[in-house]
Structure 1
Amino acid sequence: MLNLEEYFKGSKFGFRAKPYIEGGNAVTPAIVVAELSRKLMNKVKEGRETLDGRRKALL
Structure 2
Amino acid sequence: MVRINITIEEHSLKAIDRAAAKEGWNRSAFLRHTVEGYFALEEARKRRRRAMEKAVTI
TM-score range, shorter chain: 0.3 to 0.5
**Structure (1 or 2) with the greater helix fraction:** 2
Larger radius of gyration: 2
Q: Normalising to structure 1: TM-score of the pair?
A: 0.35
Q: Normalising to structure 2: TM-score of the pair?
A: 0.36
Kindly indicate whether structure 1 or structure 2 has the higher relative contact order, using CA contacts under 8 Å at least 6 residues apart.
1
